[in-house]
Amino acid sequence: MYKYHCLNPISQIGLEKFTESYQMTENMQESDAILVRSAAMHEMEFGSGLKAIARAGAGVNNIPLEKCAENGVVVFNTPGANANGVKELVIAGMLLAARDIIGGINWVQEYEEDGDIAKMTEKKKKAFAGTELEGKKLGVIGLGAIGVLVANAATHLGMEVYGYDPYVSVDAAWKLSRNIHHAKTVDELYKECDYITIHVPALDDTKGMINKDAIGLMKKGVVILNFARDILVNQEDIVDALVSEKVHRYVTDFPTKEIVGVKGTIVIPHLGASTEESEDNCAKMAVAEVMDYLENGNITHSVNYPDCNMGIKGEGDRITILHKNIPNMLGQFTGLLASENMNISLMANKSKKEYAYTMIDVERAVPAEVEKHLESVEGVLKVRVIR
C-alpha cells in the first residue's frame, strides 16, 4: 500500500485516479508521495520514505529542488495541463488592454441611477473606445505549452505574431502555426511588436528581463503582458515606463505592492490556471506521474531528475537507482549484479546535469544484501527495488 499526502486542496477528479493500492494520509512524514500546489516547502522536513513530490501546476519555486535531489526525491510538475486556461486569460488581457472595457464598465456603474444614462452613454463612450487587435503585432517570448497556444490563437484574431525561444522543443515546433514569424533575437521582438507577452520560467537569466533597457527598445505605447512570474519584470522600471507613458498598459496576473494602483495597469489576482478544468487536468497528470513512478519506476516531467521510461514492469524485479552523474556508475552497477550472478534483461540510463537515473530489470528476485551493496556505491542517492 502506497501512502500520499496533499499539502493543498487537490481536485477530487484527479485523486479519484488513484487505485485501491493508494491511501491518503494526514501524516506527511509517512507518505511515499506528496501532492502540492502553492504551499511553501523549503523549510519542511520530509520523511525518510518520501519518494516523489508532484506539483499540480508548472512552477516549482515553492519546492526545494536541490534538497529533494540530494535526498533521492523526484519532483514532478504538470506542464501543459493548465495551458489552455492561461491562454484564454492572456487573450482576455489583450482585449482589456486594447479597449478600455474596465473603465467603461466602471463609468456605467457610477451613473447606474442616472435616468438619462442612455443619452449620457452616447456622449461619453468615445473615451473608452480603444483599438482592435487585428493587424497589430504580438511578440511571444517563450514557446512552451502556453506560448504556442497564445501565438496560434493570436493568428486567428488577425494579429501578426512574432515568436522568440532559443530552446524551443521539437514538439512545440510541430504545434506552432506556420504563420508565426521567428524572431532571431529578443531585441528584434521588442522593437517590432505592439503587444509583448512573456511565457518563460523564472531562472537566473530571465529574472528582471523586462527592464528599462528592454523597454527602451520598445515602441511608445506598447502593451506588456505577464502571466508567467512577477519577477520576470523589474517592478521599478515598469512603473517608471507607465508613468512616462512609454508603456500604455501593463497586464499582469501577479499583484505586488509596487504595481497595484499604478495608472495603466490591469492587475488580475493570479487567475491564470484557476479554472476548474485546469485544476482537474493538473491533478490528473500529477497523479498519473506519481503512480507510474511508484509502480514502474518511470519518470515523466521531472524537474530535478532526467525523464526515463522502460514501460510497465514485467514479472521480474526492477531496480531503480537515483545517483550523481559521475563516471563509471553503470560499470559498478552491472559489475556488482554480475558478481551476484544476476542476469540483466533490460536497462536504461539517463542524466540531467549533475544527476542521473538508472533502471535495471533482472530475471530473479533481488536479495536485500544486493540492494545494500548498490546503496553503498559512492554517488548513489537512493535505491529502490520494485517487486
pLDDT tens digit sequence for 134-184: 999 999 999 999 999 999 999 999 999 999 998 888 888 888 999 999 999
CB under 8 Å to 125, separation ≥6 — which residues? Answer: 104
Residue 293 CA to residue 300 CA, distance in Å, equals: 8
Query: In this structure, are strands 380-386 and 318-324 parallel, antiparallel, or unpaired?
Result: antiparallel
> 66: buried, middle or exposed (CB in 10 Å: 19+, 13-18, 0-12)?
exposed
* Percent of the chain surpassing pLDDT 70: 99
- How many residues can be counted in the chain? 387
State how far the alpha carbon of 171 is from the alpha carbons of 80, 109, 309, in Å: 12, 47, 18
Which whole number is the average pLDDT over 99-104?
A: 92
Contact indicator for 32, 49 with CB cutoff of 8 Å: yes
Reduce the DSSP state of residue 302 to 3 states and report it. strand
C-alpha cell at 199: 511565457
CB under 8 Å to 227, separation ≥6 — which residues? Answer: 86, 89, 90, 93, 146, 197, 198, 199, 252, 253, 272
The reported pTM is: 0.83
The yes-or-no verdict on residue 115 having pLDDT over 70 is no
CA atoms within 13 A on the CB side of 103: 18
Residue type, 229: R
Residue 312 CA to residue 318 CA, distance in Å, equals: 10
Contact indicator for 34, 73 with CB cutoff of 8 Å: no
Q: How confident is the model at residue 302 (pLDDT cuts 50, 70, 90)?
A: very high
Residue 286 CA to residue 308 CA, distance in Å, equals: 16
Residue 7 CA to residue 17 CA, distance in Å, equals: 18
